[in-house]
Amino acid sequence: MSEAKRALLRRMFNATVAAAAAERCLPPHLPTPPKGRTVVIGAGKGAAAMARAVENHWQGPPERLSGLVVTRYGHGAPTRHIEVVEASHPVPDAAGREAARRVLESMKGLGPDDLVLCLISGGGSALLALPADGIALDDKRAVTSALLRSGATIHEINAVRKHLSAIKGGRLGAAAHPAPVVTLVISDVPGDNLSVIASGPTVPDPSTYADARAVLAKYGITPPQAIAARLAEARDETPKPGDPRLARARAILIATPAGALQAACEVARAAGYEPLLLGDAIEGEARAVAASQARLALSSKPGVALISGGETTVTVRGKGRGGRNAEFALALALALDGKPGIHAVAGDTDGIDGTEDNAGALVLPDTLARARAAGLDPAASLANNDAYGVFSTIGDLIVTGPTLTNVNDFRAILIDAV
């Protein structure tokens, strides 16, 4: 029985990922080729696959197609006309900084007959890392690392990132003026807010320097002096809604968490389950979300599949390994306490859970028993943020490698009669 449930949960996860594959979702949204040049730029874990899809389906002269996109190390894809650069994620590095500098430089000299085609997916904030004047990359790395460990939401993290950047928060789109800009977006953030996805490099930014200062204060983060000074001075604010430099810029959501979750619902329905979609924008501490969903699972009738997405957070206090999905899975297993007839999966659709080599993990009724039989203390492992260690030991990690897309987290809980 458990092997059949494992296979079903993996099919649901795979369907979610496939629904957001660039080759599937990007071609219908390609713009009409312009009279002049088309410069393709972009960033994210899906950027290389998106660039390849553009090349495969572009209807204009290929000699007028050029550009550069930056993706995470190991997430590249072969292209012919659009250069792919790999860089570090989630903490930026010099490769990402140089790629971002080149992307911004490529906006110079464009005219109204040219076109900027921007390809954005989750992870773009770290990958398109060009610090504002006076900000050292190491300082930006330090603040990014502190925010990632603090439990801050992606909305909060990106409000800070945008105000330490020369390229985010609409600045890239403004630099392309007067050329029109079409941005194709695979969303990985709760609510599909275009100004938050990859820190919205080509769209207006409603957040402010005051917002960025408030985020750092909320989480008790003391930034390096140069960053503190920039946030306090609050000069050179990001382009806001109505900025004339963005009048010819438009953005299109080509894949969303909601659409991807519907694909998983169809798989569950075909297997005889009644899918109950809990939401595509669930946030909060992974452990707290797990506890809430465990209570719902324990009170649900047999034959239901609880499906959800969003982006949980982990406040790291231990020294173990494990991203937010593995942490959710271990907390869920502890909350279910071996309840028969309940199987679950939690995974990041980009194939990388946090900074680990797994996408997520599976939860079975005997998860805790097998972990304890292997000499582990699951509760202590959770306290040490070491969910990876538990699931690795018992063989229940989900390892896919880079999927070249990203529509955030996927969770499913199957409830069966015992």
The pLDDT of residue 337: 98
> What are the φ/ψ torsions at residue 232 (nearest 5 degrees)?
-75, -40
Q: Are 13 and 345 in contact (CB under 8 A)?
A: yes
Q: Are 141 and 84 in contact (CB under 8 A)?
A: no
Tokens representing 190? 């709760």
Q: What is the SS3 assignment for 2?
A: helix
Q: Helix H segments across 1-127?
A: 2-19, 22-25, 47-57, 94-105, 124-127
Name all domains of the chain by residue range, CATH numbers in brackets.
Answer: 2-16+258-415 (3.40.1480.10), 31-255 (3.40.50.10180)
% pLDDT > 70, the chain:
100
- How far apart, in whole angstroms, are the C-alpha atoms of residue 92 and residue 133? 16
Interval 382-410 mean pLDDT: 97
Q: Between the CA atoms of 321, 326, 329 and 333, what dihedral angle is there, to the nearest 10 degrees?
A: -20
* Residue 63 DSSP symbol: G
The pLDDT of residue 155: 92
Q: Which residues contact 57 (CB under 8 A, 6 or more apart)?
A: 26, 27, 30
- How far apart, in whole angstroms, are the C-alpha atoms of residue 118 and residue 404? 16
Interval 327-334 mean pLDDT: 98
- How far apart, in whole angstroms, are the C-alpha atoms of residue 243 and residue 237? 12
The pLDDT of residue 1: 61
% pLDDT > 90, the chain:
95
Interval 226-244 mean pLDDT: 96
Q: Place 191 in a pLDDT band, splitting at 50, 70 and 90.
A: confident
Q: Place 67 in a pLDDT band, splitting at 50, 70 and 90.
A: very high
* Residue closest to 347 by CA, chosen among 405, 400, 385, 296: 400
Q: Place 151 in a pLDDT band, splitting at 50, 70 and 90.
A: confident
Q: Place 354 in a pLDDT band, splitting at 50, 70 and 90.
A: confident
What CA–CA distances, in Å, run from 50 to 30, 126, 174, 198? 11, 18, 23, 15
Q: Which residue has the tokens 């599937």?
A: 24
The helix-helix angle for 387-394 and 324-336 (nearest 10°) equals 70
* Residue 310 DSSP symbol: E
pLDDT digits (tens, 9 = 90+) for 103-136: 999 999 999 999 999 999 999 999 999 999 999 9
β-strands 342-348, 409-415 pairing: antiparallel
pLDDT digits (tens, 9 = 90+) for 202-213: 999 999 999 999
The pLDDT of residue 78: 96
- How far apart, in whole angstroms, are the C-alpha atoms of residue 122 and residue 280? 15
Does the pLDDT value for residue 190 go beyond 90? no
- The kind and range of the H/E element at 186 are strand 181-186
Q: Between the CA atoms of 278, 280, 285 and 289, what dihedral angle is there, to the nearest 10 degrees?
A: 10
